[in-house]
Every structure is written in C-alpha cells, then in structure tokens.
Chains A and B, each alone.
Chain A
C-alpha cells in the first residue's frame, strides 16, 4: 500500500486541474449568456440544470484518474489529461449545441457516452492485465470479428432500398434503440490485425521481394493476406458508401507498413493503388463527383448556376465556411455565435462550431492538443520494446492523426468532405467508446513497456 502512495500520479492530477477549470468556466459562461437580457440571437442555452453534467464530467475524470492510480500507476501520465480536455470540449459543445438543436439533453447524453467510454477504457486495461502480447495470437479472430460487424450493416443496407447517389451511414440500431457504428470497432480490429501480421513478417517485408523490370515489387506471399484484408474492408466500405472510413483504413494500412518495414517503396505502391482506386470511385459514384466538385466552388459567387450548387450540394460546406469566417481570430465567444446554421453541426461540423465560437486562436489551441496527443502516442510506440506493441501503439495513434486530418481538411474545404468523427469531440457514442478503448490500450502499452 505504501508503494501505491509513493507512486501516486501527481503529474496527471496537476495536469487535470486546468481542464477542470476550463469545464467550469465554460459552463458559467453558457449559463450567463442564457441569462443575458439582450442577445441578438437568443439560442435558448442550457439553464442551471447544465451544471449537473459539468460537475459529472469532472467527477468522472477524477474518478478515472484515481482508478488509473490503483490499476496502472506506472502508465504514461500526460496522455489522459490531454484526452480529458478534448472530451470536456466535446461535452461542452454538446451542452451548447443541444438546446439550439431542439435536443436539450444532448449534453447529458454525451456525458453518458463519456462515462461508458471511460468504463471501456478501464475494462481494456483490466483485460490486458498480463500485457497486450496475447492479442496478437487472435489476429485472425479480430479480423473476422471486424468483417462480421461490417457485414451485418452491409446486409442491412443492401436489403433496404437506398438511393445509390447518397452517402449512407453504417448505423445499426441495437435493441433499445441505441445507434451503434460498427466501423468504429472495425478500425481497432484492423489495427490489431495489421500490427500482428506486420510484426510477424517484418523481416521479409523489410527485405523487399521480386522486381518487375527495374521496379521493386513487394513480396506477394507475405503481402497477400494483408492486401486481401484491405480489399475486403474497402469493398465493405464502398458498399456502405463510407468512403471517409475507406480512406482512414487505407491510411492506417500504409502508415503501419511503413512503421513495420521502414521502406518508402510500400508507400509508393500504396499511393499508386490509391490513385487508381480514387479514380474508379470518382467514375462510379455520383456523390463522390459532387463532393470533389464542391471543393472547387467559390462560396461568394453570384453566378446563378453556381448559386444553385451553393444552395444544393455545397450548402453544408459553404455554411461551415461562413461559420468559420464569422468567428475570425478571436471568435464570437462560447454561446454567442450562431453555429446551428450549419447542417449536422454536432457531428461532422463540430470543428466549424468550435472555430466560430473560439476563433482562430481556439482552433490553433485545439490542433495543438491533437498534436500533443499524437506526439504522446508515438512516444509510447518508440518506447515499447516488442515489435507488436510498437506497431500497435503507432497504428492506434495514426488512427487519431488521420481522422483529425481528414475531418478538419474536409471542414476547411481543402479536401472533399467525408463524414468522419473528430476524435473525442464529435457527438456520438460508438466513436467515443472506440477512442477510449484505444486510449486504454495505449496506457497499458506505456505501463508494461516503460523501464
């Protein structure tokens, strides 16, 4: 017991102070804005009741901190506070956007998901009590489970009639009416599979294989299962019209191959394959063409033809840009903007809402948080001792990095928009739970492998 006190995670506690203050300041601001007598755009913000979720978040985070001290005293102490602040951001945005979207309980629902996520994080830590290495023996089980998850929603999509030109979300309704996105778990399953497979074959992958003329080709025998898995996953997603997730999986695949082999050759071949795939998707799917076309549109144009597009397929993206532009450098202030003009602002466009209310300064700070999160993840990966753990930690961190890049670039109209959650901030249960499972794995790897 004495040893336990000696190893108390003081640094983590210190780092948690500011996120908790952030939550309290945010909630005070929301309550005050609601009671301000003259607001130009009164958006019906939460009342005093919203103090309960706010205090609930702080209590949940501190409770997790104490449980981590009990179960995993030697784990990385910087990772959890970063994630805590990001989650607080998520709850705060849900609290703020909920009433304006006529769903006043959005904040408490997000809090519930956060609690579930923290629970799953601790469960993951308990399940990997003897280290994470046992996971690699079940790599095909994980792969099959992932494919099964997506197969179910594929069947559901194919049996119901859906317009082929519209993107669909692979949502399953669990008994009890709880929506659940299997693809969130699929990405973890795939990272586990890739990590185990690449760790086993890394010598051969590192050596390079036959040559096609003067072009080196990856060794096909070792590459086969990987490519097969990748193809199955991509076909499933193309079937589900979740091209954003297909992009994410492809990015993870390339990142992990590069981490495992250290050869740019694979990245080159991967990008070539990507170019072919992107071209085919562009030719086949109307909605992909729409989204690529939208990137090239000027939202200020007065041309009637372009106006038609701005009010049609480009409506969301132009509204998002207007929201970001309204925010300017300093932002309108939490609760003082009007981000609900953007469709799907609580999910795909939460970044635009943050940009409007916190301004460029706030967005830069937010991206700084993501950079620190990714830095910490890769640090855990470089300090891991076994190849499997290195690849697992690196791959899981790459998930956060790629997801953030895809959705932020989409919101800023730098890239065709694809609906993918912004880690920890987007409203949604499955994404939060999956992200916390990843955090649990990273914490466990940092604890077992640190010296």
Chain B
C-alpha cells in the first residue's frame, strides 16, 4: 500500500514538471503561428498592392528616432507629401523635419522628388534636392531627410 502511494507521488512529480514543459511547448506553437501569420500577411499585402497598383512605395531604411520599423513599406500616392505637419501623407514627428518637408509626385511616367523649402534639406543619393524643382527618382534610390547624416532614410521601389 505504501509503495503504491510512493509510486503515485513519483508519477505526480513527473506530471507536475511535464505540465510546465507542455505549457511552454503550447506557447511556442502559438508564438510560431503568430509569426508565420505575420510574415504571410506582410507577403500577401506586398503581392496585393503590387498587382493592384503599379505605382511605387518607400521602404524605411533608417528610421532614426521615429516610431517606424526598418523594412516597413509605405505606399506612395500620385502626390505624396512628407513633413511634420498633420496634413502630410507621411507624418514624421521630429523637430528636424520641417512641417512641409518634401513632395514626391508621379508624372511623365516617373517619380519626382521636390524640396518644399525645408530647413534641413533632403538628399537623393547624396545630391541635395533643389527647392521647387523636381529631381527624378528611380527604384533603389535613397532619399535622406534632415541634416548631414539624416534623420530618416527611405529607399524607392516600384
């Protein structure tokens, strides 16, 4: 009789620790499903917009202090404005970004970047973007906003 109780306790001991491990395995499955769904969701979104519109997008390369993630994709509209002000298409809350910093437009089958008279300028592939005069941008070009080493960096994509 005693022996049986001992055996039962031994089984309980194993079950107790096994339960924690089972819980951990369950957690890992949930987390894995989460990650897979997130990845496939992002992929589907990319494929979806690409077939929907052949326009273009910006990829965040260096988010600076912004609440953006590197690799995050922002779709462009035919006229996209970037700045600190709340009316811009892409709002970047940073004191080094002017309230109306830059404008990206699509005409003549090409993207054009234009500075809107920003204080800290913006640079396309290292060349300063002139004020009020568009500079053509091709896929892969790097757009840097802000002083010197830049606050935010975007990459063009089509």
Tell me the minimal C-beta distance from A304 to chain B in angstroms.
40
Q: Are A32 and B23 in contact (CB under 8 A)?
A: no
Tell me the minimal C-beta distance from A373 to chain B in angstroms.
10
Tell me the minimal C-beta distance from B83 to chain A in angstroms.
15
Separation of A330 and B15 alpha carbons in the complex (Å): 12
Q: Does B27 contact A (CB under 8 A)?
A: yes
Q: Are B17 and A359 in contact (CB under 8 A)?
A: yes
Contact status of A15 and B12, CB under 8 A, knowing A85-B23, A362-B17, A365-B20: no
Q: Does B31 contact A (CB under 8 A)?
A: yes
Q: How large is the interface on A (under 10, 10 to 19, 20 to 34, 35 or more residues)?
A: 35 or more
Q: Are A261 and B65 in contact (CB under 8 A)?
A: yes
Q: Are B67 and A386 in contact (CB under 8 A)?
A: yes
Separation of A311 and B27 alpha carbons in the complex (Å): 43
Contact status of A365 and B65, CB under 8 A, knowing A21-B19, A29-B13, A32-B5: no
Question: Using Cβ atoms and an 8 Å threshold, which residues of chain A touch B23?
Answer: 15, 18-19, 22, 81, 85, 369
Tell me the minimal C-beta distance from A430 to chain B in angstroms.
27
Separation of A359 and B27 alpha carbons in the complex (Å): 22
Q: Are A334 and B16 in contact (CB under 8 A)?
A: yes
Count chain A CB atoms within 10 A of each CB in B6, B17, B26, B30 and give the residue with the most.
Answer: B17
Tell me the minimal C-beta distance from B39 to chain A in angstroms.
14
A-B contact count (CB 8 A): 102
Q: Are A28 and B26 in contact (CB under 8 A)?
A: no
Separation of A260 and B66 alpha carbons in the complex (Å): 10
Interface-lining segment among A33-41, A124-132, A242-250: A33-41
Question: Using Cβ atoms and an 8 Å threshold, which residues of chain A touch B6?
Answer: 36
Tell me the minimal C-beta distance from A221 to chain B in angstroms.
14
Question: Using Cβ atoms and an 8 Å threshold, which residues of chain A touch B65?
Answer: 202-203, 205-206, 260-262, 387
Q: Does B94 contact A (CB under 8 A)?
A: yes
Q: Does B50 contact A (CB under 8 A)?
A: no
Q: Which one of A333, A372, A382 lies within 8 Å of B9 (CB-CB)?
A: A333
Separation of A382 and B71 alpha carbons in the complex (Å): 13
Pairs A–B under 8 Å by Cβ, sample size 6: A18-B26, A22-B16, A203-B95, A334-B13, A365-B20, A368-B20
Hey, which bits of chain A sit against chain B, CB under 8 A?
Answer: 11, 14-15, 18-19, 21-22, 25-26, 28-29, 32-33, 36-38, 78, 81-82, 85, 202-203, 205-206, 260-262, 330-331, 333-334, 336, 358-359, 361-362, 365-366, 368-369, 372, 375, 382, 384-387, 390
Which 6 residue pairs are nearest across A and B when measured between Cβ atoms? A365-B20, A333-B13, A18-B23, A202-B65, A29-B12, A22-B19
